[in-house]
Structure formats: C-alpha cells, structure tokens
Amino acid sequence: MAEAVKTSEERKAKSGRMTGPERKVQIVDVVLRLVHEHGVEGTTTARIARAAGVTEPTLYQYFDSRRDMLLAALDLVFARATEAVQCSQESNAVECLRKVGEYHTRETKAKALRFVDPMFEFVVAPAEEGLRERVRAGNLEIHALLAGIVEVGIVQGCIRAEVDPQRIAWRIMGFYWFEDVSMLMDLGEVVSGGVSQDTFNAIMADISASVSES
C-alpha cells in the first residue's frame, strides 16, 4: 500500500477528532504497516508522523522514543499471533492444533499484515534496535501456549502419553518459521504447493494416539 493512500483512521486523525488513546492506537497501527512496507530500519519517525498525519513532536506526546513505538507495534504482532493460537474452538486438542496450523498457512499465503510478515521484519532488525529480547519473549509465550495444548491432548487421550509437549511445541514453531521464511525468500510454492503442510501433517501423525486415527 502506497504511503499516499490514507486509511480511514488516518483521515480521522487529519480531522483532529481522535482522543488520546485513539491516537496512540492509530500510531501503533501506522508503525506496523510501515514496518511491513519498509522494514524496521526504514520506519523512521518522519515516515511515521507523515503517515499518521501528525508532526514528529506529536509522536512524543504518546511515546518516549522511536524504540517505544516499535516495541508497541511488536507487542501488537505478538498479541495477534497469540490470538491465532487461541482461536480454535475445537475441544479435541489434535483438531485444535490442526486448525491453528491451517490458520497460519492461510495467513502466510496472504502475506498477512496481521502478524506473519511484520514478525520477521522485527526478527531480522539490527541488534541496535533493541528488539531482540522482546522477540525472544514473545516466541516463548507462543511456545508455551502450544505446549499447553499438547498437554491437554495427552490428558484427553488423543495425543500419545509419551510425547514431550515442549519438543512438539518447538516442532510446530519450526513449521511456522518454515512457512514464514519461505515467503520471505519468495518461495511461495513451498506453502502453496503443500510442502509445508506435509511437514505439519507429519508432526500430527507422530503425536496422534491410535484412537484418534481410527
């Protein structure tokens, strides 16, 4: 999306009708979009202010620094990724994991702004941006959620009792990264052609109890 194209939030900002909390949310949304378009290094305060329809000094009424703006956008990315892991309404843990995997594949194919593309822009950001610890913490939180689903499946009996929830959660995280990096490298055929889904299906086959496969 070109910078000249204004969202409804940006038009509202131009009119001066935003409250303080609304403005802060708008700035975070703008930062996330700019990270998606230009990467972390290219998301300058000048670009943020221009896209948000405010002056650069106005940005600092809501955030102490550019890094704080980036961290707020990164937190939004992880909130959306966490929501994706929690989105399935399936009571069966194996089916829940399948839905989560399908959701990630759909988002990856769409090169989604919600969390897939921006996530890796943050991952590859230079160390001096000061984002790596937050990236690590966010990934550990998603890993813990996935491990929790596996633990529920063991209790339910649909996942084999000898399965290690921590290792399986990392394997699923590896599937996520496989899809994400494939898209970043313009190897979309890995995802659209079903190769990544084969990887995920192999994980599910490895952990499913025989009663769930019958």
Q: What is the 3-state secondary structure (H, E, C) of the chain?
A: CCCCCCCHHHHHHHHCCCCHHHHHHHHHHHHHHHHHHHHHHHCCHHHHHHHHCCCHHHHCCCCCCHHHHHHHHHHHHHHHHHHHHCCCCCCCHHHHHHHHHHHHHHHHHCCCCCCHHHHHHHHCCCHHHCCHHHHHHHHHHHHHHHHHHHHHHHHHCCECCCCCHHHHHHHHHHHHHHHHHHHHCCCCHHHHCCHHHHHHHHHHHHHECHHHHC
Structural contact between residues 48 and 27, judged by C-beta atoms closer than 8 angstroms: yes
* Predicted model pTM: 0.82
pLDDT band at 23 (very low <50, low <70, confident <90, very high): very high
Domains and CATH numbers, the chain: 8-63 (1.10.10), 78-213 (1.10.357.10)
- Give the per-residue pLDDT at 113: 58
d(CA 70, CA 43): 9
d(CA 139, CA 94): 21
Is the pLDDT higher at 151 or at 89? Answer: 151
Cα–Cα nearest to 31, from 80, 77, 83 = 77
Is the pLDDT higher at 2 or at 10? Answer: 10
Write phi, then psi, for 6 (nearest 5 degrees): -100, 135
pLDDT band at 9 (very low <50, low <70, confident <90, very high): very low
Which of 9-23, 123-137, 149-163, 176-190 is predicted least confidently? 9-23
User: Radius of gyration of the chain from Cα atoms?
Assistant: 20
Alpha-carbon distances of 126 from 38, 39, 132, 193, rounded to whole Å: 14, 11, 9, 32
- Give the per-residue pLDDT at 192: 87
What mean pLDDT do residues 166-190 have?
91
What mean pLDDT do residues 152-164 have?
96
Structural contact between residues 28 and 7, judged by C-beta atoms closer than 8 angstroms: no
- Give the per-residue pLDDT at 109: 79
Percent of the chain whose pLDDT exceeds 70:
87
Above 50 in pLDDT, residue 34?
yes
What mean pLDDT do residues 10-21 have?
62
- Give the per-residue pLDDT at 145: 95
Name, in order, each residue with C-beta under 8 angstroms of 144's C-beta and a sequence gap of 6 or more. 169
pLDDT for 55-100, tens place per residue?
Answer: 999 999 999 999 999 999 999 989 888 888 887 777 899 999 999 9
- Give the per-residue pLDDT at 90: 77
Around Cβ 38, how many Cβ atoms within 10 Å? 14
pLDDT for 101-135, tens place per residue?
Answer: 998 888 887 765 566 678 888 888 999 999 999 99
d(CA 41, CA 78): 20
* Mean residue pLDDT across the chain: 86
